[in-house]
Structure 1
Amino acid sequence: MSQTDLTWNTALLYPAPDSPELESDLASFDALAAAFRERYFEKIADQDSAAILAAVQEYEALQVRMAKPFCYAHLLFAADSADETNRALAQRCSELGSSLSQQLLFFDLELMHLDDRGFESLCNLPESVPYVHFLTGIRKFRPYSLKENEERLLTRKDLTGVNAFTKLFDELSASFSYRMELDGEERDFTGEELLSLLHHPSADVRFRAQTTFLERHAEHGIVFNAVFNNMALDHGQEMELRGYATPIQPTNIGNEIPDEAVEHLMSVTEANYGLAQDYFRLKAKMLGMDKIRNCDMYAPVAEAEKQYSFDEARDMVVSSYAQYDPDFGRIVGAFFDERRVDVLPRTGKSGGAFAMGISPQSPPYLLLNYTGTLRDLATIAHEAGHGLHFVLSQKQNMLNYHAPLPLAETASVFGEMLLTRMLLEKETDPAVRKSLLCAKIEDIIATTFRQTVLTRFELRLHNERQAGLLSNDRIAEIWLEENNRLFGDSVEAIPAYRWGWSYISHFIHSRFYCYSYTFAELLVLALFQKYREDGDGFKPGYRRLLESGGALPPADTARLAGIDITAGDFWQKGYDVLKDLIEELREIV
């Protein structure tokens, strides 16, 4: 494939950032929002149910129209945040989005505060069925809402508050290049290229790569300290204004999971930290080390870690989905055929990987930073799963399009399992099977145990910030304490790891998102076990789960595939699967 084929084709959305089509859309929004406000502001309570439903549908149509240009701007900025045109468009959309939110937020508030009789009448309309989950979701925030003018002020100050700090974090992180010697040559690396060296066979290279990456962040410690402190302070003050009891409570309400259930999920995970420590000791044995360091956690266990060309990786991922369901393979293949994937790392491009679902009417996109490792191969399967989920949920309306956070990782993690099992079934070489098992076990550890570590750290950061400014030394102490609970005496943290918190974008972009990975991983382990037991009989229910998007609460969505997440031992079942994988590996070792 050419280099051009490895970048995404955003012309499927708009011809160019200076196109008349984009300008026409962006220029229309103020008038559309103003007209909507004129029709409905302080009038919803006086409308009959049919008129309110018509307003909801009009609001939905507005959301669809706005999603396309705003997501387009985000895609351009993610691909190259150093480009002035992209930066200007992203800033314009940020400011316009804030203005539109201020004009339209009254609608949620008025729906939220409908009297019980009016709300029940609205939900009982047959035509309201596709909107009931959206409406009841809004209703749950009624005890924590403020007056319309106060809500507008909060939205307005976000533009120069949390949104500005988020933009600063993104631009600073994307601007970094890293200089390090490799194979006798000193050269520049992107962050993704450097982190891929954590899979290098040399322990010295792994140590220097992680140290170089983290020390680059340490050079800007003043900025990262300001970003994290101010984000936590802003959130804490807003929680106080709204009357929430804990920093995580609004996330849990939005996820439709009680605080107690989230705490139970994390407690069960922490009770199984010993499994991770058993694996880390086994990994040390495989590497011929007394104890691994955290920079060795993803070290290859084969003499030569296999590298995959992107063409090979793409074909394997598409094949793994097609073996499960030919239609799934067609949907995943279309991302590559239609150039809706940006593949290679480069300076100015966002790190990590993501899938962007825009609306039921627009095609989703994937961002990768592919460097050829087995982990990168799994990442393609992961993001392709997100993309598949976005395509299948296009059966829903815009207000139900996005799956709730606890289920947002379901298709992605399931896709990784499909790929792993396909590779294991084809592979007869014990050394390669060992590498595949290690990769899967490490992935489960990363998406369950590590995500609980991140959530505990984030909670402590927010709680302690309420008492005053946190120094980088104190943030590092919290970070290392939570990580060491997972590591125990099985892993030694390298000195630079005290800065390991500074680059994790979920803390900035999606507050308390991380436990959703734990939820999804354990759910998928249960789903995949059911698939292996039920075979083709499992597939219709799983497809319905993905097609449901955000139309149902998480527990009801899981039931579509025959899974009861409320069962007392549900979370432990996932860790029993992990234990079996570790034992399978131990037998090979």
Structure 2
Amino acid sequence: MIEQLLWDTTPLYPSSTSPELAQSFDAATSLVSAFRERYRTKVATLTAEQMSEALRSYEELQEVLAKPQLYAHLLFAADSEDDENKRLSQKASEFGNLMGRELLFFDLELIEMEDQPFQALVEAPVLAPYRHFLEALRKFRPHALSEREESLLSQKSLTGVSAFSRLFDEVSASLRYEMELDGEIREMTGEELLSLLHHPDAATRERAFSTFLQRHEEHGILFSTVFNNVALDHAQDMELRSYGHPMEPTNLGNEIPTSVVENLMRVSEANYPLAQEYFGIKAKLLGMARLKNCDVYAPLPDSDRSYSYDEARETVVRAYHEFSPEFSELCDGFFKERRIDALPRPGKSGGAFCMGMTPALPPYLLLNFTGNLRDISTMAHEVGHGIHYLLAQRQSMLNYHPPLPLAETASVFGEMLLTRHLLKGDVDPALKRSLLCAKIEDIIATTFRQNVLTRFEEQMHLRRKDGLLTATELSQLWWDENAKLYGSAVEMIEPYRWGWSYISHFIHARFYCYSYTFAELLVLSLYQKYLKQGDAFIPIYREILASGGSQTPADTLAPAGIDLNDPSFWQDGYDLLRDLIEELKTVI
């Protein structure tokens, strides 16, 4: 049974010491060298046909480069304490950095082309499959540096921001926690401890969350140093590239106008009272005068059921089958082919993720399954990501990965399908209350909380320009932003001042968090269309996923009748949340 909870990476390589893996590194190095020799300083002189050939070769290179690096990441995520995994992960990081520097010239020479010849390439029929890639790349023209400068920045990142990111990962994964539970002192991983936020006993929940956060406080010097260096690196990069706001590079890469992001965030903040209303209802359901923030995900008194891994699998597969047999088959493939690692254990990365590989390789999922209802939702979420990547495999490598704002679409839609499946038929009122609470809490966590995280990150970067931020200052920024969401409805426990210190998105991907808010509200709109249109909606939705990154988010969503520039679009999602809260009131 244990084997079924661990992923099988042997279809990628037999082992971390296999000759095939070593050959991949060597072959990629040779191919990159040949590509550089053939095209460096010549990109601007290529005809449309020659450019098409060059882009196909470039794509093939990206696939060859990705496979050993992604394999190394999977092994390290599964066990970051294994010395061989550490060595391979570092080797892959250095290899990817070197190969990236060797290929920098290609993107830069495209960016630096004169307007007229570049436009002629974009409009050439033979380059139609690459038009979006070329146009998206061109948007960075005002912010690109010379090849020498770009190469030096990339090279120094290995001992700079990348090194700090790696330190954050290794320390986070190495932390152990001791807590008294059921009369005995137990050693736990962070994931096991956080799972106790779903424990029926309020004192246990608070003790678990406090233990987790206080352990991070003990490493406060390290975490505050990492966060400061990440912010400083970003500030220096912005200055070198002439960006005006910390979020601008992310918005440009996402192909989302800043005005759209601001509308999204302002509408979210205007709806914080919805969350506060729900927190008041949840307190009554728990028999409490007021929630603490460690009680937000507490189970209702009559909903303490746990689920086996097989039950969770069957539930998620059925939920997808009710939507589409094709989606169900793709879902079950992750289990049958053992492309899921679900067992929590020391050294394993916390949380969950889906590793989209390449158009030629299947994605893998990392979970930390502990048996509660939220874990089933997480499973449906990550499977959604996986289905997205599988459907996008009709695209070539440069058009494969969905843009960040759409990256969470399929995952959040999968959660909605799960909720619909569980609420189907004559549902016991107690179960219905639990399911509605779980869905409402998911929406709150995926919209409002992610908005709080984004605002904290924004303030961190803006304030860091004025000098070093102490751990106390970071904690206060975190406290202030969370207070706006919780208001007087929720009491924050004192250790929560350190809640910023374990959020890996702040370290690995600037301003990723608003993508969750974007996706959740987008999905609520798409789901409403599905309820109205039925099976006629499925091919429209499938096409959105299958388009991968071949179009801008606006163009991808246009067939579904969605206008991202309309603030009322975002409000529609919160109106559905209000409806769910009203429905919950009927079964209290």
Once residues 425 and 134 of structure 1 are traced to their aligned partners in structure 2, the CA distance between those partners, rounded to angstroms, is: 43
1:186 counterpart SS class: strand
Q: Give, as a single letter, the amino acid of the residue that structure 2 aligns with 1:233.
A: L
Q: Does 1:69 align with 2:68?
A: yes
Contact map agreement 2:303 2:430 (CA 8 A) in 1 = no
Residues 527 and 29 (structure 1 numbering): CA distance in 2 closer, same or farther, change over 3 Å? same
Contact 1:344 1:368 in 2 (8 A): yes
Number of the residue aligned with 1:148:
147
Residue correspondence of structure 1 range 134-283 to structure 2 within 5 A: 134-283=133-282
Whether the 8 Å CA contact 1:252–1:258 is kept in 2: the answer is yes
Query: What secondary structure, in the 3-state scheme, does the structure 2 residue paired with 1:180 have?
Result: strand
Cα-to-partner distance string for 1:22-80 (whole Å, 9 max, x where unaligned): 11011122222122111111111122222122111111110011111110000000000
Q: Deviations over 1:312-332 (max 9, x none)?
A: 000100110011100100001
Question: Alpha-carbon deviation of 1:224?
Answer: 0.3
Give the counterpart letter for 2:97 in structure 1.
Answer: S
* Inter-partner Cα distance in structure 1 for 2:386 and 2:491: 37
Instruction: Quote the residue 2:124 is aligned against.
Output: 125
Q: Conserved in 2, the CA contact under 8 Å of 1:321 and 1:332? A: yes
Matches of 2:425 and 2:496, distance apart in 1: 38
Q: What residue is the counterpart of 1:36 in the other structure?
A: 35
Q: CA RMSD in A?
A: 0.9
Q: Which residue of 2 aligns with 1:467?
A: 466
Out of 83-92 and 304-313, give the one that drifted further. 304-313
Equivalent residue number for residue 456 of structure 1? 455
Quote the Cα distance in structure 2 between the aligned partners of 1:425 and 1:235. Answer: 48
Q: Deviations over 1:502-553 (max 9, x none)?
A: 0001001111000000000000000000000000110110000000000111
Equivalent-residue separation in structure 2 for 1:396 and 1:426 (angstroms): 39
SS of the residue corresponding to residue 366 of structure 1 reads strand
Kept after mapping to 2: 8 A contact 1:544/1:560? no
Q: Counterpart of 2:293 in structure 1: which amino acid?
A: N
Secondary structure of 2:187's aligned partner:
strand
In structure 1, the residue matched to 2:10 is: 11
Number of the residue aligned with 2:408: 409
What SS class does the counterpart of residue 586 from structure 2 fall into?
helix
Matches of 2:543 and 2:209 in 1, distance apart? 42
User: 1:546: which partner in 2?
Assistant: 545
In structure 2, how many angstroms separate the alpha carbons of the residues matched to 1:185 and 1:314? 32
1:25 aligns to 2:24 (yes or no):
yes
Q: For residue 423 of structure 2, give the secondary structure of its aligned residue in structure 1.
A: helix
| Cα deviation code 1:168-227 (max 9, x no counterpart) | 001000111111011111111111111111011100000000000111111111110110
Whole-angstrom CA distance in 2 between matches of 1:54 and 1:476? 52
Matched-pair contact (CA < 8 Å) for 1:393–1:547: yes
TM-score (norm 2): 0.99
On the 8 A contact 1:302/1:435 being kept in 2, the answer is no
Deviations 1:435-489 (A, max 9, x none): 0000000000000000000000000001111111110000000000000000110
Residues 302 and 432, structure 1, Cα contact 8 Å, conserved in 2: no
CA contact (8 A) 2:52 2:127 kept: yes
What are the Cα deviations for residues 77-102 of structure 1, in whole angstroms up to 9, with x where unaligned?
Answer: 00000001110000001001111111
2:66 and 2:329 map into 1 onto residues whose CA distance is 25
* Post-superposition CA distance 1:280-305 (Å, at most 9, x none): 01111111111100000001113341
Report the equivalent of 2:101: 102
Compute the displacement of 1:498 (Å): 0.5
- Partner Cα distance (2:567, 2:31) in 1: 49
Partner SS, residue 354 of structure 2 = strand
Kept in 1: contact 2:388–2:546 (CA 8 A): yes
Whole-angstrom CA distance in 1 between matches of 2:329 and 2:561: 26
- What secondary structure sits across from 1:501 in the alignment? helix
Which sections of structure 2, spanning at least 5 residues, go unmatched? none
Give the letter aligned to residue 13 of structure 1: L
* Aligned-pair CA distance for 1:499: 0.4
| Structure 1 contact 53–122 (Cα < 8 Å) conserved | no
Quick one: distance in 2 between partners of 1:544 and 1:212?
46
Corresponding position of 2:47: 48
Q: Structure 1 unaligned segments of length 5 or more: list them.
A: none
For structure 1, which segment, 419-428 or 388-397, has the greater mean C-alpha deviation from structure 2 after superposition? 419-428
Distance 2:320 2:481 in 1: 37
* Structure 1 residue 568 displacement after superposition: 3.6
Given that residues 260 and 564 in structure 2 are in contact (C-alpha distance below 8 angstroms), is that contact kept between their aligned partners in structure 1? no
Q: Distance in 2 between matches of 1:389 and 1:302?
A: 36
Counterpart amino acid of 2:393? Q
Q: How much does 1:354 deviate?
A: 0.2
Equivalent residue, structure 2, for 1:309: 308
| Aligned partner of residue 361 in structure 1, secondary structure | coil
Query: Matched residues in 2 for 1:567 and 1:457: separation?
Result: 25
Partner of 1:332: 331
One-letter amino acid of the counterpart of residue 186, structure 1: I
Distance (Å, rounded) in 2 between the aligned partners of 1:426 and 1:420: 12
Query: 2:202, 2:376 → 1: CA distance?
Result: 22
Matched residue, 1:354 = 353
Q: Is 1:295 equivalent to 2:275 in the alignment?
A: no
1:384-423 equivalences under 5 Å are 384-423=383-422
2:399 maps to amino acid = N
- CA deviation after TM superposition for structure 1 residue 564, in Å: 2.8
Cα offset, 1:561, TM superposition: 2.9
Structure 1 letter corresponding to 2:465: Q
Equivalenced residue count is 588
Amino acid at match of 1:321: Y
For the 8 Å contact 2:197–2:208, the answer to whether it is kept is yes
Q: Summarize the Cα distance change of 1:427–1:23 in structure 2 as closer, same or farther, 3 Å threshold.
A: farther
**Alpha-carbon distance in structure 2 between the residues aligned to 1:219 and 1:20:** 43
Percent of matched pairs sharing the same residue: 59
Partners of 1:572 and 1:526 lie apart in 2 by: 10
Question: Which amino acid is 1:266 matched to?
Answer: M
2:495 corresponds to which letter in structure 1? Answer: A
What is the CA–CA distance in structure 1 between the aligned matches of 2:476 and 2:158, rounded to whole Å?
Answer: 31
| In structure 1, C-alpha distance between the alignment counterparts of 2:547 and 2:575, rounded to whole Å | 29
Between the aligned partners of 1:207 and 1:451, the Cα distance in structure 2 is 22
Q: Which residue of 1 aligns with 2:554?
A: 555
What letter corresponds to residue 328 of structure 2 in structure 1? G
Q: Quote how far apart the aligned CAs of 1:122 are.
A: 1.4
Cross-structure match for 2:56: 57
1:476 matched residue in structure 2: 475
Q: Is the 8 A contact 2:264 2:567 kept in 1?
A: no
| Partner AA of 1:90 in structure 2 | S
Contact 1:73–1:90 (8 Å) recurs in 2:
yes
Q: Distance in 2 between matches of 1:583 and 1:177?
A: 42
**CA distance in 1: counterparts of 2:12 and 2:125, whole angstroms:** 34
Q: For 1:188, what is the secondary structure of its paired residue?
A: strand
Matches within 5 A, 1:430-509: 430-509=429-508
Structure-2 separation of matches of 1:223 and 1:369: 26
- The CA deviation at 1:427 is 5.2
Distance 1:573 1:282 in 2: 22
SS in 1 for 2:334: helix
Partner residue, 1:564 = 563
Moved over 3 A (4+): none
- Give the stretch that moved more between structures: 176-185 or 366-375: 176-185
Distance, in Å, in 2 between the alignment partners of 1:125 and 1:547 is: 24
CA distance in 1, matches of 2:175, 2:357: 28
